[in-house]
Structure 1
Amino acid sequence: MRLHLTLGVILLYFFLVGCGSIPQPFQKTTLNKSKLTLPIVSSSAGVVIKGIRGPIGWVGDAFAKAMAESLRKRGIIASSKWSNRLAFSLTANGYQQLHIDRAPELVVSWLLVNSNGDIKGIKETRSTPPDEFWNQPSNKMFETVADTNADQIADWINPSPLISQKSSNSTIRMLDIKNAPGDSALYLFKATKAVLSNHGIQLVKNGKSDLTLKLIIKTRAIDSENHNIRLDWILKINKSRELGTVSQENVIETQLLIQTWDSLAKDIATGAVEGLMQLINQYNSTLSVDVPHRMQ
């Protein structure tokens, strides 16, 4: 006997345009590179997981949020909020597979289709959720199930991560974010610290550092429901010599600016880390040539 579930997921690819900054879902463009020559990344994968339809409305939203969080932990730009006309779709059908000698499995078949309707791949994942998952699922259970499946999905859609180089133990001091909306300053620092630590970089608010990071946030109302938001991450040496700027820009719902920035900050930091790492790696590569390695 199978308990049929219907799951829906949408996969989104955001393209990096080398000629400058354009509105896109918190993807990075590297500008103002001073005297440094940086590698140009032609594109970067991103995933949008929208409300997955389940037996109850909140079930789909909870699973989508948990899966996005799990994929972000694995270095993939993932969100349960963004959409784009270039979106790929990753749809899924799941069911409960019963066994005589062991606990039931959650079997999910994933179908990947591009924006033109062409099928790009099919994949099946299997996991064994806690028994309570089938009757009284909780957010913690969704996180567990998402983590179980996320490795397989991440390796499938992004087998060769764009960032794999671990940097030497650099320290970056992040300046206070002025005019930051809501609680964005707190969560942006926390999220940026987390993503940089995965690459051997320590982010601090005070004390000695190799580099200084300044974040400028600008918001502009488009209409009663949407805002344009732009973020410029400016990385400097000794507070004066600018290494470069990573810029992000997107149109988002106004209510997201008012709500807590916990989830939004993670999306932003994950989207910015690739550009920041390019600048940091370039800086580290010049230390033995012409850049004195001094702590501020």
Structure 2
Amino acid sequence: MRFCSACLAVLLLLAGCGDLPQPFRGNPGRQARSLAIPLAIRLAVPPPPQALLDEANARRLAEAMTAALQGEEVPAIAIDRPLPLDWQLLITAESAGNVVRPRFELVNADGRSQGVHEGAGVPIRAWAEPTPPMLAQVAAQATPGLTRLLLSVQAARASATPGAISSGPPRVRFLPVRGAPGDGAQALAARMREFMSNLGFVVQDAAEGAQYGLTAEVRITAPADNAQVVDLQWIVTRRDGEELGRVVQVNEVPAGRLNRFWGDIAYVAAEQASGGVQTIIRNATTPQLSAPAQEIPAAGGAPPPPGLR
């Protein structure tokens, strides 16, 4: 069932973060990120037989990938034969034109795919004659996305029901945020990934295995009377591209407030919108009786002020 944007509008007071400074809100730091990794599982990285590499270089890639992950405190090990309770990082590669694109799949101990990360393209000539620095660069480029994926899976499993864990948490492909000035695209994406993971979803960059797509569009009016109107829309789509609904956040901010750093504004926007995104996905998978269109209020249960409708 497709839902119009009016049915799923969330109007957020973006600047409502309180009067006291909150420099650490939504920014737990690197140590907290490391501690969030599921240390109770070991991630095995076997030499990839389908990565368009010979045996020796396949082993070198697995070792480079392991070293890069260990640098982020992920409990990874390069091993030919994973143990029964190991999770695995399966690496493949395929050529597309004049580049080779590596692909990294996270698989749990039962052999179920938990998420996919697509690496950056490498010139086909460099891949055909790989050097240790080139393989180390491939690993270094893939590690941030893989660490983010592992954290998302861990958070989703912690929030999911036993049945959802056994079948694998639902996966959402997050596409880049469009139209946000300053660091808005990065800040909004990072915060939304965190909140969606906490709601039991695995958020990944790759399309493979994802049931839903999520992106955001930001429109900011030209300054007038030292203020600007921010229209932030989170768009949820089905795997076939059909739009399922939008969470809409509209508010007025001081002119130029978002030209550089979004900070707590991105945190609050994602925190408030994630529940609406979850509702859209739930409604898409649950038969709905016809009912009058309704507006989902911002967190706290209070409807938005009439002046913001």
Relative to its length, the structure with more strand (as a share) is 1
Q: TM-score range by the shorter chain?
A: 0.3 to 0.5
TM-score, normalization: structure 2?
0.41
TM-score, normalization: structure 1?
0.43
Relative to its length, the structure with more helix (as a share) is 2
